[in-house]
Amino acid sequence: IVQPAFVELVRTRLAPGGYLHMATDWEAYAEHMVEVMEAAPGYRNTASAESAPYVPRPEFRPLTKFESRGEKLGHGVWDLIYAREDG
């Protein structure tokens, strides 16, 4: 779902400063999302320099049963939060 046309459509619907939050438990897909988002105009990654390009799981995002099980098995989850820039 995270493809250039989709993220452009989302950008046109977000208010400046609005967020696009994505999360996945598939590392290759997380890397793909980063590539798409870094190439997409009008977005800025909100990750800190220490965690970039990913953000730690925000407290507001519920921990699902599936994710909890995956954590116990040593699986990762990657969160990305991009903000729409003005303009």
Q: Count H helices and E strands in the chain, helices first.
A: 3, 3
State the CATH number of the domain containing residue 52.
3.40.50.150
Question: Between vectors from CA 52 to CA 47 and to CA 58, what angle results, nearest 5°?
Answer: 45
Q: How confident is the model at residue 87 (pLDDT cuts 50, 70, 90)?
A: low
* Number of domains making up the chain: 1
pTM tops 0.85: yes
CA distances from 8 to 45, 79, 83 (A): 15, 19, 13
Where in the sequence is the domain holding 76, given as residue range(s)? 4-84
Which pLDDT tens digit goes with each residue over 44-53?
Answer: 999 999 999 9
